[in-house]
Amino acid sequence: MKNETLIKIKQQFPLTIKRLGINGEGVGYFKKKVVFVPGALPDEEVVVEVVKVHPKFSEAIVKKVRKRSPYRVKAPCPVYEQCGGCQLQHLRYDQQLKEKRDILIQALERHTKISIEDLDIRETIGMEDPWKYRNKSQFQLREMNGRVVAGLYSMNSHRLISVPECIVQHPATNKVNNAIKQIFEDFKVPIYNEKTKKGIVKTIVTRVGVQTGQVQVVIVTAGEKLPRKEMIAAEIKNRLPEVVSVMQNINPKQTSLVFGDKTLNITGKEFIDEKMNEFTYELSARAFFQLNPEQTVKLYNEVKKAAALNGKEKIVDAYCGSGTIGLWLAEGALEIRGMDVIPESIEDAKKNASKHGVKKAKYETGKAEDILPKWLKQGWHPDVVIVDPPRTGCDPKFLQTLLKIKPKKFIYVSCNPSTLAKDLQAISQMYEVQYIQPVDMFPQTAHVECIALLILKL
């Protein structure tokens, strides 16, 4: 444990910040050891105090900024430093886009043997107005001094930070949340208390159809009982005519997951509608949908550009969810086939295809690595495979299957540069990276989405 003698908790020292880490924190080196410093920016000289020591790195906080970054700005959110929902509000937006591209480059340097100089890594596609974009909020509830407080837990803690006006949320969600807090107070609805395990309402989940203006409210409760349920629903409709769907989700478990397994309709529709270009989507309480529809259109158009279809291609939409990416490309394809392990997603994908008159789409429940070889045996060979996996990246078996099937083009939509880099390395002998296009889906945060176009080597 030589490291323990080198760096100690509460030790203070000056540090030059070299870059941003994957979680948006400043990264510096002290005695050749990595030090992560939230809130510090590249090229800043800061004095830090160590708060945690690990075998290979330390965590520290800023005590003083000796030399400021020219891109440092005052974060406009009053609870920015306590809340932890955003990580980069103190960095000017044009520079956020450059740093996100750099986070991608760091991941490629760390996890691949691909020559970065030879790669076409494009400038990050940002937003004209990088605020008020999130179409969904999940706010925990607490009762404090007789008032109902809604907000988010502070970083790495269970301390609830009240967020009456979140500036990355769509204004409709803020308005609805504040009105519902007031309704809960007026009707004396018992708010769940984690310590005593008493009370009923845990969380409010609000989602807005940005193009349609429709709002859905999901009241998450600890048990099935919700007193004066109909009166509460009537009052929501009275005060908030834009709310067209009020649902109740029951989650009795002590878990970080917001939703339980059972969802009931209290009043109105079971879903809200959302539009993106010519497509309309039905969003039920637990349906996955991108949180930033404006940037999603740009993302899907970049996928379309990468696919460059001529009407003759057979396409696989792996990890297809409700079929959104595949349907976006349907017009230019000969046939689309998708698969997902979640049966409800496949039902949604079939419904979406049928609703939009897409007859050349076929969907199956199951794993891509099981279904693709079966289709190949039946004589069906895809020209383009598109994948949009979870943060953990592609299943290694899926990548092995891809190398056996050898589609001409592989388009990888990633929400995690580290797993993207590892997966690109795993198939680098057979596939060449044509280019990577970062897209900023979550301004003010450290997240970066990328589209990588890979071509089969001849």
Is residue 450 within 8 Å of residue 437, measured between CB atoms?
A: yes
216: tokens are 């859905």
How far apart, in whole angstroms, are the C-alpha atoms of residue 430 and residue 285?
A: 42
Q: What is the dihedral of CA 390, 393, 396, 401, to 10 degrees?
A: 70
pTM for this predicted structure: 0.92
Q: In what order do the strands lie in the sheet with 262-268?
A: 160-162, 147-153, 136-144, 201-208, 215-221, 243-250, 262-268
Q: What is the rounded CA–CA span in Å between residue 397 and residue 67?
A: 49
**pLDDT per position in the chain (458 positions), as tens?**
444 457 899 999 999 999 999 999 999 999 899 999 999 999 999 999 999 999 999 999 999 999 999 999 999 999 998 988 999 999 999 999 999 999 999 999 999 999 999 999 999 999 999 999 999 999 999 998 889 999 998 877 778 999 999 999 999 999 999 999 999 999 999 999 988 999 999 999 999 999 999 999 999 999 999 999 999 999 999 999 999 999 999 999 988 889 999 999 999 999 999 999 999 988 888 888 899 999 999 999 999 999 999 999 999 999 998 899 999 999 999 999 999 998 888 998 999 999 999 999 999 999 999 999 999 999 999 999 999 999 999 999 999 999 999 999 999 999 999 999 999 999 999 999 999 999 999 999 999 999 999 999 98
Q: Look at the alpha carbons of 217, 213, 390, 265 in this order and tell me if their dihedral is positive or negative.
A: positive
> Locate tokens 């965590």: which residue?
59
pLDDT of residue 5: 55
pLDDT at 145: 85
What pLDDT is recorded for position 233? 94
Q: Provide the angle, in degrees to the nearest 10, between the axes of the packed helices 396-405 and 368-377.
A: 20
The total number of residues shown for the chain amounts to: 458
Q: In terms of C-beta density within 10 A (0-12 exposed, 13-18 middle, 19 or more buried), how is residue 91 classed?
A: buried
d(CA 282, CA 274): 7
**Known catalytic membership, residue 415:** yes
- pLDDT reported for residue 4: 47
Residue 28 parent element (H or E): strand 26-30
Instruction: Yes or no: say if 8 and 35 are a contact pair by the CB < 8 Å rule.
Output: no
Q: What are the distances in angstroms from CA 140 to CA 159, 197, 251?
A: 11, 15, 13
Given the residues 77, 86, 320, 415, select the one marked as catalytic: 415
User: Token pair 């009166």 is at which residue?
Assistant: 231
- Other Cβ atoms closer than 10 A to 357: 7
CA 204 to chain centre: 19
Phi and psi for 326 in degrees, rounded to 5?
A: -60, -45
Q: Is the dihedral of CA 250, 254, 256, 257 positive or negative?
A: negative
- For residues 206 and 217, what is the distance between their CA atoms, to the nearest angstrom? 5
For 453, phi then psi, to 5°, come to -100, 120
Q: Determine the Cα–Cα distance for residues 193 and 200; give it in Å rounded to an integer.
A: 8
Phi, psi of 315, rounded to the nearest 5 degrees: -115, 140
Strand positions, DSSP E, 54-193: 57-67, 136-144, 147-153, 160-162
| Ordered DSSP codes for 352-416 | HHHHTT-TTEEEEES-HHHHHHHHHHTT---SEEEE---TT---HHHHHHHHHH--SEEEEEES-
